[in-house]
Structure 1
Amino acid sequence: MDTDSRSTPSPVPSEVPALEIRGLVKHYPGVRALDGVDLVVHQHEVLGLAGENGAGKSTLLKALVGLVRPDSGDIYVRGQKVKLRSVVDAANHGIGMVFQEQSLVPNLTAAENIVLGSEGAGVRTGLYRWGTLRTLAQEQLDKIGSTIDPLARTDTLSFADRQMVEIAKVLRIEQRTNVAPVIILDEPTSVLESGEVETLFTQVRRLREFASVIFVSHRLDEVLEVCDRVAVLRGGRSVGEVATAGAVPGDLHRMMIGSTGSDDHYHSATARPVAELEPRLVVRGLTGKTFRDVDLDIRAGEILSIVGVHGSGREDVCRSLFGAEEVSAGEVTLDGERLDLSGTRAACAAGVGYVPAERKIEGMVGPMSVADNMTLAKQGVRCSGPLVVPRKQTSVVDRWIERLSIRTPNRGTAIQRLSGGNQQKVVLARWLVAGDVRLLLLDHPTRGLDIGARSEVYRLMRELATSGVATLLLADSLEEAIGMADRIVVMSDGRIGAEVACPNGGKPTPLDLVKEMV
């Protein structure tokens, strides 16, 4: 059968759940990731899934798409008990997932990624029919209002555009199966701008007409806006659910951590006396591929945030200050001395730290241990000459594991086994262990983190600022920038535009910033 022909979904009685999970259990060494999870997804429902980092969400989702085999428990799809042994097996049962970490092949085109494994008429006698391939991909991109060129190489696309390709790819399941699909969206909005988020929400609502959706996001306001019902996990267990009608984020937060928490997750401290200090970082006329003539000053103990729409150039400015992007002009000084921008090694030696946006790709080495990741940038904290001294490494690593409350079975555990929040703490600790960081560059440091983990990152940022570290923050939202920054500068089309002060008691509103961004 031509896989591009849409079949009428097989009829299933409306009272039969699209997906049901009973008593799912999964152990890892030293960790009980799932502890008897129960979950029901009704037909044509958008079910939100909430929980702190480490609550078991990722393990549950991987079990549903055949990447993890549970130790016990049952999975039912449209009333039929199934064993999901692979992603292909899950797809054959109509289950597809947009992964938070992204699963695209970077050296293929967007079109090839979208139809990968279900090329159908796009392939004849082993060769691509590029016109047909483009048409098949364009059909999916049109569903989400994307203007991406289907024949663009994936590795040339921005993170946000790659996320849109991921969504288009999973929508192909509508053509691959003759059953109403179950589509899982894992943090689909984490890198999207507000307009793109609204486009996605429109698509999610359309999906409800012919599919069932599991929507996972740490942004609780989004969960309540787009979902019909929200199920909450805590400590690997199902702790309850709530209908979204009339619910507020505090209701979910209370279920996630067992308390109401605080509405002020930024923990604003007393204003630090930084205004009279000489600038620690001075940037003049910095120019690169996507930005030009950038001037910045950041004082010791100050948090400066750069905001801007997608494509404003702010990410590349941040990376260039760490020597990770080439610059063609400009001068940068740190504490009065010229900062070498020729490479990341020189930046580290000068006391510059960098937490990248793509944590799993650039921020950590997954198979390496927590200890080795934590000491990766400052070998001197664990070495004597050319040799690693285990006792020396153990002492410093254990101290920071305790201080940052990093949840890990032990220091030797592979970092990829930790939750996203704990991974981020390890990445941050990398720049704290040596105690010589003068400038910290934070590119979306709370992306994909839950409320509790974000609050921990905010606390660390405040502590570092109080100790005198100058911080450049690319925030995950305008609210985060306003809540954390002492000053905000706005970038547009590669240039610095407005500068906005953020004193305690006189913070701007998101609307104030948006007016400067457009």
Structure 2
Amino acid sequence: MIPPANPEIGQQPHPMVPALEVKNLVKHYPGVKALDGVDLVVRQNEVLGLAGENGAGKSTLLKALVGLVRPDSGEIWVRGEKVRLRSVVEAANHGIGMVFQEQSLVPNLTAAENIVLGSEGAGVRGGVYRWETMRKLAQEQLDKIGSDINPLARTDTLSFADRQMVEIAKVLRIEQRSQHPPVIILDEPTSVLESKEIETLFTQVRRLREFASVVFVSHRLDEVLDVCDRVSVLRGGQSVGEVATAGAAPADLHRMMIGSTGSDDHYHDQAYERSAEPLRPMLSIRGLSGKTFRDVDLEVAAGEIVGIVGVHGSGREDVCRALFGAEPTLAGEVTLDGKRLDLSSTRAAVAAGIGYVPAERKIEGMVGPMSVADNMTLTKQQSRCAGPIVMPKRQSSLVDRWIERLSIRTPHRGTQIQRLSGGNQQKVVLARWLVAGDIRLLLLDHPTRGLDIGARSEVYRLMRELADSGVATVLLADSLEEAIGMSDRIVVMSDGKATKHVPCPSGDKPTPLDLVKEMV
């Protein structure tokens, strides 16, 4: 049931009045126009998809809708009332809540505290938490999305996927907090979820449509078409059109996003031929064990891409982190190019010629306030120095060359990396290892997470260029299709063990179903 209108803010709108409307929204940043007259209409009781390449303006628009960014001009209307959203609290008071792509939870609080944060209600009396009440309030939201997370678990002990479910449960509390039919924004909510969790989320989104309006953002265009009623497309900070999802195809959206026809096989290697020469072993793992994996055996040859697939909790992410010295190991031996590998620290891994692109880009992959140039040369300081002396011209020349080569969209090499779109941030993180020039093993943990079709294709091209140069690559792909399309071999992990090694040669690829049978 829709809660009654708050008389202090406004009455229930006429059914034809949009739940949310944006008119000619403009936002400038130094050297770039993030929004250039964006228009958007979200109808009552619908799921509106928002699509666009990285850098199209989606993130800036969403932040404006939840009070994190103040537009330079334009108007925002909520249920027929013109509003100024100067904070997240003001947006929430108008019934607007958001699940952020880059998580916004407080890590040292429990899941329950995060879920009810700012709207504790009966969970607090006299400034003191009533833990059982808090647990029940949080459990009510977790039950809606079918999650078995312990509400009293500390958030920093949960996996990334579980933290994403806590984010979703948290924003659902707006149903109780707001006196309006809510507008819920989901920014890349499925990026780290497994197929079962995604279907659970979609069920919840469809339920929300009955009494709320939803803005759904995803680079997975098939998901957008599956769960949304309409899709609005941004390009270059402008609204370029919308399409009803009934009868539409991903190629239709891609054409609007970049002006050309997309293809679902952009990662496949029809034109990519392997050398007939035998590949030289580079990475050799024997009996590697850690807290969440055991007795893992794996070999990766120079110039080979090996994908590791498995369901959530299979241990594949921790194996990848252990190889970079970021997770402790309990047993086993790892050699790189014939030499015993020191797994005691990330510093030792980098010194051995190992590069790592983490899944949580903004937390582990970059330093937000630092410039593009400084982030790109962070690992190899000597690339910008002559002895102990920093040589700005040397750094500028090197960084500008990679900015041009990778088509990184940035106003300037000195721009803070946190001001770039997600796709361009990822290119900078990848460029860090290209700048280093001496990488022998590259560990890629969901390198295309949150990237649009064009940016993903560029990442795939870079991966193949690195393979051609002799770099051994371990890939934790964003989807089974991506793993199949990019890998020379695939290792299946289940319950912490490598249970199956699947050949993946060009022209004779396994199907996703072949892998799923081994994963579960």
Query: What TM-score comes out, normalization by structure 2 length?
Result: 0.98
1:186 corresponds to 2:187: yes
Pair 145,176 (structure 1): closer, same or farther in 2 beyond 3 Å:
same
Per the alignment, residue 228 of structure 2 pairs with: 227
Pair 224,275 (structure 1): closer, same or farther in 2 beyond 3 Å:
farther
Give the superposed CA RMSD.
1.1
Once residues 496 and 276 of structure 1 are traced to their aligned partners in structure 2, the CA distance between those partners, rounded to angstroms, is 24
- Matches for 1:98-177 after TM superposition, within 5 Å: 98-177=99-178
Which range moved further: 383-392 or 272-281?
Answer: 272-281
Letter in 2 for 1:31: V
Per the alignment, residue 400 of structure 1 pairs with: 402
Which range moved further: 49-58 or 334-343?
Answer: 334-343
Per the alignment, residue 57 of structure 1 pairs with: 58
Once residues 31 and 423 of structure 1 are traced to their aligned partners in structure 2, the CA distance between those partners, rounded to angstroms, is 16
Pair 331,44 (structure 1): closer, same or farther in 2 beyond 3 Å:
same
Per the alignment, residue 8 of structure 1 pairs with: 4
Deviations 1:415-437 (A, max 9, x none): 00111111000000000112100
Secondary structure at the counterpart of residue 363 of structure 2:
helix
Letter in 2 for 1:151: L
Deviations 1:52-93 (A, max 9, x none): 000000000000000000000000000000000000000000
Deviations 1:152-194 (A, max 9, x none): 0000000000000000000000001121000000000000000
Deviations 1:186-234 (A, max 9, x none): 0000000000000000000000011000000000000000000000000
Secondary structure at the counterpart of residue 473 of structure 2:
strand
Deviations 1:375-418 (A, max 9, x none): 00111101122221111111111111111111111100000011
1:54/1:235 contact within 8 Å kept? yes
Secondary structure at the counterpart of residue 203 of structure 1:
helix
1:242 corresponds to 2:238: no
Per the alignment, residue 265 of structure 1 pairs with: 266
Which range moved further: 241-250 or 383-392?
Answer: 383-392
Letter in 1 for 2:123: G
Which range moved further: 221-230 or 276-285?
Answer: 276-285
Secondary structure at the counterpart of residue 210 of structure 2:
helix
Letter in 1 for 2:476: L
Once residues 261 and 153 of structure 1 are traced to their aligned partners in structure 2, the CA distance between those partners, rounded to angstroms, is 42
Gaps of 5+ in 1: none
Per the alignment, residue 430 of structure 1 pairs with: 432
Letter in 1 for 2:212: A
1:289 to 273, 288, 291: 291
Once residues 395 and 340 of structure 1 are traced to their aligned partners in structure 2, the CA distance between those partners, rounded to angstroms, is 34
- Offset of 1:275 from its aligned partner? 7.0
- Offset of 1:7 from its aligned partner? 3.5
Letter in 2 for 1:427: V
Secondary structure at the counterpart of residue 13 of structure 2:
coil
2:2/2:211 contact within 8 Å kept? no
- Offset of 1:144 from its aligned partner? 0.5
1:389 to 377, 388, 391: 391
2:279/2:303 contact within 8 Å kept? no
- Offset of 1:274 from its aligned partner? 7.0
- Offset of 1:500 from its aligned partner? 0.8
Letter in 2 for 1:8: P
Once residues 124 and 281 of structure 1 are traced to their aligned partners in structure 2, the CA distance between those partners, rounded to angstroms, is 58
Once residues 144 and 86 of structure 2 are traced to their aligned partners in structure 1, the CA distance between those partners, rounded to angstroms, is 30
- Offset of 1:272 from its aligned partner? 1.7
Secondary structure at the counterpart of residue 49 of structure 1:
strand
Pair 22,133 (structure 1): closer, same or farther in 2 beyond 3 Å:
same
Letter in 1 for 2:4: T
1:274/1:299 contact within 8 Å kept? no
- Offset of 1:151 from its aligned partner? 0.4
2:517 to 512, 515, 518: 515
Once residues 344 and 413 of structure 1 are traced to their aligned partners in structure 2, the CA distance between those partners, rounded to angstroms, is 27
Gaps of 5+ in 2: 6-10
Once residues 299 and 59 of structure 2 are traced to their aligned partners in structure 1, the CA distance between those partners, rounded to angstroms, is 40
Once residues 452 and 344 of structure 2 are traced to their aligned partners in structure 1, the CA distance between those partners, rounded to angstroms, is 36
Once residues 435 and 117 of structure 2 are traced to their aligned partners in structure 1, the CA distance between those partners, rounded to angstroms, is 44
Letter in 2 for 1:405: S
Alignment coverage as a number of residue pairs: 514
Deviations 1:224-272 (A, max 9, x none): 0000000000000000000000111000000000111334211514332
Letter in 2 for 1:387: I
- Offset of 1:325 from its aligned partner? 0.6
Once residues 51 and 270 of structure 1 are traced to their aligned partners in structure 2, the CA distance between those partners, rounded to angstroms, is 28
Secondary structure at the counterpart of residue 161 of structure 1:
helix
Once residues 351 and 453 of structure 1 are traced to their aligned partners in structure 2, the CA distance between those partners, rounded to angstroms, is 26
Per the alignment, residue 256 of structure 1 pairs with: 257
2:412 to 410, 413, 418: 410
Which range moved further: 259-268 or 139-148?
Answer: 259-268
2:379/2:436 contact within 8 Å kept? no
Per the alignment, residue 503 of structure 1 pairs with: 505
1:97 corresponds to 2:128: no
Letter in 2 for 1:482: I
Pair 274,393 (structure 1): closer, same or farther in 2 beyond 3 Å:
farther
- Matches for 1:305-316 after TM superposition, within 5 Å: 305-316=307-318
Secondary structure at the counterpart of residue 340 of structure 1:
coil
Per the alignment, residue 475 of structure 1 pairs with: 477
Once residues 204 and 162 of structure 1 are traced to their aligned partners in structure 2, the CA distance between those partners, rounded to angstroms, is 18
Once residues 51 and 277 of structure 1 are traced to their aligned partners in structure 2, the CA distance between those partners, rounded to angstroms, is 40
Letter in 2 for 1:182: V
